[in-house]
Structure 1
Amino acid sequence: MTAHHEDPAAPGRSGPHATADAAPDSVRRVRTEYAPDHDGDPDPGEIVWTWVPYEENDGRGKDRPVLVVAREAGGTLLAVPLSSRRHDRDREWVPIGSGPWDREGRDSWAGLDRVLRVHEDGMRREACALDPTLFGQVAARLRERYGWS
């Protein structure tokens, strides 16, 4: 798997379609609705690849999978990062198993403590739709944590 750490043209890295941190506590009127449509565009319930800036916000980051959890009124999407690092007993992470988003077939976890704003033109590719039950578990935890509908 090629990580696009150094690729200045990586989708979502810069410009008007850059992936950015969202302030999930201030996001209002967001519906976490499972709505995958395998059309190449990111939809809630799908795992897509985009540039994710490091939390230090120093211009560094990497191309990684994220789970799209909601569409905002302005057309942007909210997503949570995925990790293959084990987070078995960490309440900030929801286990989602393995899938085609990880070429090595490793189990993954969806992070709840960081919400990203993703643009349709700021993603590299659509990986797959997550199982609806697993999506529901992630969405329920996000609604509980941030008061989303």
Structure 2
Amino acid sequence: MIPVTASTEENIPGRQGPHATIEADPRKVGRVRTEYSPAHDGDPDPGEIVWTWVPFEENDGRGKDRPVLVVAREAGGTFLAVQLSSKRHDAQRDWVPIGNGPWDKSGRDSWVDVDRVLRLHERGMRREACALDRMRFNLVRNRLRERYGWS
């Protein structure tokens, strides 16, 4: 995680401006086709874990630079993603366990929050992490299909 200071805040991808990461209503995003298509080509792809600024749910301007799993590409050139967390969470939200991987340098287990969908712009993220394997991606994909009817 990048420590946020006054001098680095403007430089965090997805933090502000036209490429800011925002919350998307998963029931109003239109037709969504999730896919597993990671490619080591320098472009973000569904199935990859990338880093972006994720606003706190209070929408008060605060947030955190964190890993997210890209799950779909939208027609307008944006992407849909779900955030990762290394903290165990209560049962009030729907968290899918995905274990650990190179996105967490401490080797901690992670969970994906399928209750909250984010819209990212290619210029609002960093490709730093990795591709999630197909089996774990499908766990997340299936939960998103169950919850929102995505294909």
Query: TM tier, shorter chain?
Result: over 0.9
- Over the matched positions of the two proteins, sequence identity in percent amounts to 73
Of 89, 106, 109, 1:107 maps to 109
TM-score (norm. length: structure 2): 0.92
Distance (Å, rounded) in 2 between the aligned partners of 1:85 and 1:75 = 31
1:133-148 to 2 correspondence within 5 Å? 133-148=135-150
Of 35, 40, 48, 2:42 maps to 40
In structure 2, the gaps of 5 or more residues are none
Distance (Å, rounded) in 1 between the aligned partners of 2:117 and 2:90 = 20
In structure 1, the gaps of 5 or more residues are none
Aligned to 1:97: 99
Cα 1:122–1:88, aligned 2, differ >3 Å: closer, same or farther? same
TM-score (norm. length: structure 1): 0.94
Deviation at 1:140, TM superposition (A): 0.6
Question: What is the aligned-residue RMSD (CA, Å)?
Answer: 1.6
- Asked whether the equivalents of residues 3 and 64 of structure 1 are also in contact (C-alpha less than 8 Å), the reply is no
Distance (Å, rounded) in 2 between the aligned partners of 1:105 and 1:10 = 24
Aligned to 1:60: 62
1:66-77 to 2 correspondence within 5 Å? 66-77=68-79
Distance (Å, rounded) in 2 between the aligned partners of 1:148 and 1:62 = 27
Deviations 1:64-108 (A, max 9, x none): 000000001111000000000014866600000101111100000
Equivalent residues, number: 149
Aligned to 2:4: 4
Deviation at 1:4, TM superposition (A): 3.4
Cα 1:100–1:145, aligned 2, differ >3 Å: closer, same or farther? same
Deviations 1:27-75 (A, max 9, x none): 2221111000112221100000000011111111111000000001111
